[in-house]
Amino acid sequence: MARVLIIGAGGVGGVVVHKCAQVPSVFSEIMLASRTKSKCDAIAADVKARTGRTIETAQVDADNVPELVALIRAYKPDMVLNIALPYQDLTIMDACLETGVHYLDTANYEPLDEAKFEYKWQWAYQERFEKAGLMALLGSGFDPGVTNVFCAYVMKHLLDEVHVLDIIDCNAGDHGHPFATNFNPEINIREVTARGRYWERGEWVETDPLSWSMNYDFPDGIGPKKCFLMYHEELESLVQNLKGLKRARFWMTFSDNYLNHLKVLENVGMTRIDEVEHDGKKIVPIQFLRALLPDPASLGPRTKGKTCIGCLMQGVKDGKPKTVYIYNVCDHQECYREVGSQAISYTTGVPAMIGAMMMMTGKWSGKGVYNMEQLDPDPFMDALNKHGLPWVVVEK
Ligand code: NDP
């Protein structure tokens, strides 16, 4: 029986609260806190209507460590689930250390003025969490998150060595807007406009943003789609933890419509993350753009179609070459029926709940900072099948 504090009441935070509420045997008490309390109250009301459970709510500025510490001391949770933005990772980790509670997030820390996507800031907390006897679980979403666990599962059961890893993320859903992002627009656009990077024979190789593409034929009636090479944060830990790896890449599908809009926004400077002067005030163009774009949490009722995210892994088993594809397919409208959200929020929120469940039931434990592939994949993989993200393995 665990008492948990969830921080962040956006698209993903809403799913995490619904999914935790569905497992009262583990999550006996739940508080949702965020910058805007009315958003927490709206989610709590929806959870009450769907499950009958009461969720406590609170206002907190997660950039402010003393405020976080006061809230944690008052509520006394066993762990904090950070479902706010990557900018808040370090302040929430600091508050967890100060109050002696475990920590989980879904995306690695980014400084506001640099789109860097590196674990170095959070890995630097290893010793402090270890000494405090606390666990920090990093990147417990889908990618990062389930993709790391898929890799650990393949390494444990299906291949003796993995030589080539391709993580392929397809969103074949349609929300009907001319342009919208499926998770926080600022974080999404920072990620997509960054330079591409993949790992080959021990070195990182850079590419121009979205300059490499391939076609991949996705299962479950999705069919062939164009996928673009991008850098994605789970590659950084996977290349350290998958033994024998020679190449690791990450691919994501984008529609022509999305790419055309993005190009224009970039060309006119709307995706800039530095401050510019406007009417005597400093504004950051991407933050202004975020205010204009549809809220990802509002896309649920209008998004139709499926997502398919998986790992294609080539390697060796019993001395023979073998290729394995391990994936999940998720339907936007089924997610909406269950928790009122589209599949991108759902596929992130379910693994966040499962990561917390692993920690709170002692199936995953440890002192220090962990990436997902460092822990036993089996109980997590079982939980994916039970809690809405069933997976499939195909030998190619
Ligand atoms: P949203 O923008 O929809 O939600 C973010 C929430 O955090 C909002 O409720 C926001 O408050 C709150 N927040 C922001 N700053 C603060 C602050 N200083 N103090 C308190 N609360 C704050 O984002 P998403 O739900 O789409 O994404 C949430 C996280 O999930 C992000 O870190 C994202 O990168 C990650 N993610 C991970 C994925 C994965 O597979 N691993 C995939 C998709 C997303 P307010 O409502 O007031 O703005």
**Which numbered atom of ligand 1 lies nearest the CA of 13?**
25
Q: Which domains, ranges and CATH numbers included, belong to the chain?
A: 2-141+348-380 (3.40.50.720), 146-339 (3.30.360.10)
Where residue 137 falls (left for φ over 0; alpha for ψ -120 to 50; beta otherwise) is beta
**Mean local confidence (pLDDT), 378-391:** 98
pLDDT at 396 exceeding the cut of 90:
no
Per-residue pLDDT tens over the stretch 65-118: 999 999 999 999 999 999 999 999 999 999 999 999 999 999 999 888 877 789
CA of residue 9 to ligand 1 center, whole Å: 7
pLDDT attached to residue 277: 96
Nearest residue (CA) to ligand 1, atom 11: 35
Cis (ω within 30 of 0) for the bond into 144? yes
pLDDT at 332 exceeding the cut of 80:
yes
Give CA–CA dist 70/77, Å, rounded. Answer: 12
With cut-offs at 50, 70 and 90, classify the pLDDT of residue 263.
very high
Mutate to test the pocket of ligand 1, among 341, 348, 371, 384 (most ligand atoms within 8 A of CB): 348
CA of residue 387 to ligand 1 center, whole Å: 22
Check: CB of residue 312 under 8 Å from CB of residue 153: no
pLDDT attached to residue 358: 98
Nearest residue (CA) to ligand 1, atom 2: 184
Q: With the C-alpha atoms ordered 1, 152, 335, 41, is the resulting torsion angle positive or negative?
A: positive
Per-residue pLDDT tens over the stretch 139-186: 999 999 999 999 999 999 999 999 999 999 999 999 999 999 988 898
pLDDT at 198 exceeding the cut of 90:
yes
Report the 10 Å Cβ neighbour count for 394.
12
State which amino acid sits at residue 242.
L
Closest CA to 13 of 361, 348, 384, 343: 348
Residue whose token pair is 């583990």:
26
Q: Residue 59: CB partners within 8 Å, gap ≥ 6? A: 33, 34, 35, 36, 37, 40
State which amino acid sits at residue 269.
G
- Per the prediction, the chain carries an average pLDDT of 96
Secondary structure string (H, E, C) spanning 157-197: HHCCEEEEEEEEEEECCECCCCCCCCCCHHHHHHHHHCCEE
Q: In this structure, what are the phi and psi dihedrals at residue 289, rounded to the nearest 5 degrees?
A: -60, -40
With 0-12 / 13-18 / 19 or more C-beta atoms within 10 angstroms meaning exposed / middle / buried, residue 66 is: exposed
Give CA–CA dist 19/1, Å, rounded. Answer: 15
Nearest residue (CA) to ligand 1, atom 23: 184
Closest CA to 384 of 396, 374, 372, 395: 372
Give CA–CA dist 187/369, Å, rounded. Answer: 23
Nearest residue (CA) to ligand 1, atom 42: 348
Within 6 Å (CB) of ligand 1, which residues are found?
A: 8-13, 34-36, 39, 60-63, 83-86, 88, 106-107, 139, 141-145, 183-184, 187, 296-297, 344, 348
pLDDT at 24 exceeding the cut of 80:
yes
Give CA–CA dist 364/137, Å, rounded. Answer: 10
Can you state the percent helix, strand and coil of the chain, rounding each to 5? 40, 30, 30
pLDDT attached to residue 366: 98
**Mean local confidence (pLDDT), 336-356:** 97
Give CA–CA dist 219/197, Å, rounded. Answer: 26
With cut-offs at 50, 70 and 90, classify the pLDDT of residue 218.
very high
Residue whose token pair is 């709940």:
353
Give CA–CA dist 307/336, Å, rounded. Answer: 13
For the chain, percent of residues with pLDDT exceeding 90: 94
With cut-offs at 50, 70 and 90, classify the pLDDT of residue 18.
very high
The CA dihedral of 123, 126, 129, 132, to the nearest 10 degrees, is -160
CA of residue 294 to ligand 1 center, whole Å: 14
Give CA–CA dist 158/321, Å, rounded. Answer: 11
**Which numbered atom of ligand 1 lies nearest the CA of 140?**
41
pLDDT at 8 exceeding the cut of 90:
yes
**Which numbered atom of ligand 1 lies nearest the CA of 185?**
2
For 188, the token pair is 């999404």
**Which numbered atom of ligand 1 lies nearest the CA of 14?**
25
Q: With the C-alpha atoms ordered 235, 236, 242, 247, is the resulting torsion angle positive or negative?
A: positive
Per-residue pLDDT tens over the stretch 31-52: 999 999 999 999 999 999 999 9
Give CA–CA dist 164/238, Å, rounded. Answer: 12
Task: Give the residue with greater pLDDT, 190 vs 352.
Answer: 352
Give me the interface pTM, i.e. the ipTM: 0.99
Integer CA distances (angstroms), 59 to 21, 38, 67, in order = 20, 9, 10
